[in-house]
Amino acid sequence: MTVIDANRMHEIETRYPEYFHRSFRQRFGGLMILIATLLYSLYAVWFFDLPKLFAEAHWERVGIYLSQWVSYDVQPELRIEDDGSIDIRYPRFSPLGDNPHPDWLVNNPDGSITVSISGTSRTVTVSKSETIVTAHGVSVPVEVSSGAPKVVGPVPGWMTVYDDNVLADLGFAGNVSISVDRVKIRKRFIGWANFIFDTQSSFFDKPVGEVVSLIVSGPRIKPDQSNLSLAFDDIWNNSEWQHGDVLTKLFQTIVMAFLGTLLGALTAFPLAFLAARNITPNRLLNQILKRFFDFLRSVDMLIWALFLTRAFGPGPLAGSGAIFLTETGTLGKLYSEGLENIDNKPREGIQSTGAQTVLVHRYGIMPQIVPVFVSQTLYQWESNVRGATIIGAVGAGGIGLKLWEAMRTNANWENVAYMVILILIVVFIFDAASNALRHRLMGTKTH
């Protein structure tokens, strides 16, 4: 074991004072940051009243909305007439068309009707005097012959009795509302109903093989139009999913992002040369332009969109203008900072030959900044594809407005899911393309 005497110890302390005489900040800085973070977290919990917020949140709606993203429901209504017969009705614009005859609804010989909610484990049998709901391994009769529906026997937990009706919750499969003169059934199916052809199409409810045969070699459904053209028109003008309008609005969003970013880049590029201190040695002009860039980018794109929709009305022009103003500020700042950080030696070398200013910029500056500028611009373009969706919700056009309209009805969540998936696909494609172009320009390899 090596023994260090006092002189050696003093010499080590003198040589490395940062290890033996640490400041208060160095010794307790980490602990102070931890305590400050904890205190701020507690303050945030108190300020936002998170316990109350979580306690009063409607968590059940999350499951309802998510289920409606990936499914649809059919709602037959069985009305018990005065003569004891049962009349079956469907809402207007039912996914089953105008004259549905589903195989899961069976007319029994005794005049009753059995509806299969989920196979044979969850069924509803309706007669003129009672309705029998079978679920979770039990059958519960509900008398409907008196003034109010009455459950015979114990009421299970999945059934709720009200003054004028009985509600049976059958989970994701659907539910049943029973009153004296009618039984309303909601039966849920996985998937998107009529996504290709709506109920008004000549190809509706036909098997895939028959549709393909009609399109390829079948007789014309309309004498003045080929079946292929008719099928395309029916898909494009699908009244339920509105494919044509959705794709047109999506294209508007892409054009808004491209046009706004392009105009912002073209405007910011020359202004950046005037704002860069090492390119334009005029401090007043530098500061004015930099503050101008700060102003444009400090006002959020959404706020610009609100201003412009009031000025020009709703539409893609307002959206493109909002992106243009924001990108002029953002790219102007990025470009000017990039110019201020270039290597001045190539520029000075070209200046020493007596070349004109334009040639100095062309050969002394541009080779250094073009890959960086293009990379930054591509990134902003990719980001603006997402931003254009948001500003569309305030009237700036594009798919954002259509998405907001579908969400506002609180009933078309499958359409919301459709548009969200389209937006995600577009964002993924533009993200991949932007990354590939940036790596190519920067001379780096993608992994």
Q: What is the pLDDT of residues 2-20, one digit of tens each?
A: 666 677 666 766 766 666 6
Token pair of 247, please? 């794709």
Rounded CA separation 429/447 (Å): 17
**Which of 8-12, 60-64, 220-224 is predicted most confidently?**
220-224
Does 146 or 54 have the greater pLDDT score?
Answer: 54
Rounded CA separation 363/374 (Å): 17
Judging by beta carbons within 10 Å of its beta carbon (0-12, 13-18, 19+), is residue 300 exposed, middle or buried?
middle
The order of strands in the sheet holding 130-135 is 105-107, 113-118, 122-126, 130-135, 138-143, 150-151
Q: How confident is the model at residue 443 (pLDDT cuts 50, 70, 90)?
A: low
Return the residue matching tokens 């780096």. 444
Confidence check: pLDDT of 116 > 70? yes
| Cα radius of gyration (the chain) | 34
Please report, rounded to a whole number, the percentage of residues in the chain having pLDDT higher than 90. Answer: 34
Q: How does strand 71-74 pair with strand 182-190? A: antiparallel
- Predicted local confidence at residue 76, as pLDDT: 93
Rounded CA separation 387/9 (Å): 62
**What are the φ/ψ torsions at residue 365 (nearest 5 degrees)?**
-115, -50
- Residues with Cβ within 8 Å of 217's Cβ and at least 6 positions away in sequence, in order, are none
- For 243-442, CATH number out of 3.30.365.10, 3.40.50.1220, 1.10.3720.10, 2.30.60.10 equals 1.10.3720.10
- Predicted local confidence at residue 333, as pLDDT: 92
- Residues with Cβ within 8 Å of 81's Cβ and at least 6 positions away in sequence, in order, are 87
- H/E stretch holding 132 reads strand 130-135
- Comparing CA positions, the residue from 368, 348, 157, 385 lying closest to residue 261 is 385
Confidence check: pLDDT of 1 > 60? no
Confidence check: pLDDT of 351 > 80? no
Q: Which of 10-14, 64-68, 71-75, 243-247 has the lowest mean pLDDT?
A: 10-14
Contact 125, 113 (CB under 8 A): yes
Confidence check: pLDDT of 62 > 90? no
Q: What is the pLDDT of residues 101-112, one digit of tens each?
A: 888 999 999 889
Compute the mean pLDDT over every residue in the chain, rounded to the nearest whole number.
86
Q: What is the pLDDT of residues 177-208, one digit of tens each?
A: 999 889 999 999 999 999 999 988 989 988 89
- Predicted local confidence at residue 94, as pLDDT: 86
Contact 332, 268 (CB under 8 A): yes
Confidence check: pLDDT of 413 > 90? no
Give the SS3 label for residue 107: strand
Confidence check: pLDDT of 79 > 60? yes
Q: How confident is the model at residue 43 (pLDDT cuts 50, 70, 90)?
A: very high
- Residues with Cβ within 8 Å of 151's Cβ and at least 6 positions away in sequence, in order, are 140, 141, 142, 159, 161, 166
**DSSP letters of 179-246?**
-SSEEEEEEEEES-TTSSS-TTSTTTT--HHHHHHHHHTSPPSBTTB-HHHHHHHHHHT-TTT-HHHH
Return the residue matching tokens 């012959």. 145
Confidence check: pLDDT of 274 > 60? yes
